[in-house]
């Protein structure tokens, strides 16, 4: 899903972590292949290219961590519904949905 499509209609649409992770991985691979060419041409400095790659890698790591946390929460839900309900309420509060 192109990033532009996420913001049609004003507010961002909710998309899954898996979809975001695939999009970030695709973009990161694209940048890794294009940036060296831009650096060689002189249209992008090495420092700028390196910074952008590091930012994308950080986003990728954050999404992987969120995916792991989501999976851990799913395990908790399967094992302890009252505790899981508290976790979901806490997550909703963090995201400002309450």
Residues 6+ apart with CB under 8 A from 67: 17, 18, 21
Q: What is the pLDDT of residue 74?
A: 72
Residues 6+ apart with CB under 8 A from 76: 83, 84, 87
Burial class (CB in 10 A: 0-12, 13-18, 19+), 73: middle
Q: What is the pLDDT of residue 66?
A: 85
Give pLDDT tens digits for 18-58. Answer: 888 999 999 999 999 999 999 999 999 999 999 999 999 99
Domain extent for 78: 3-94
Domain count, the chain: 1
- Bigger pLDDT: 46 vs 67: 46
pLDDT band, very low/low/confident/very high, at 16 (cuts 50, 70, 90)? confident
């Amino acid at each position: 899903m192109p990033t532009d499509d996420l913001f049609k209609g004003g507010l961002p649409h909710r998309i899954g972590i898996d979809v975001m992770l695939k999009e970030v991985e695709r973009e990161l691979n694209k940048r890794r292949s294009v940036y060296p060419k831009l650096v060689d041409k002189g249209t992008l400095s090495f420092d700028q290219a390196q910074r952008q790659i590091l930012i994308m890698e950080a986003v990728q790591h954050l999404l992987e961590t969120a995916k792991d946390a989501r999976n851990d929460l799913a395990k908790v839900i399967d094992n302890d519904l009252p505790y899981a309900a508290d976790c979901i309420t806490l997550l909703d509060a963090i995201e400002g949905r309450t």
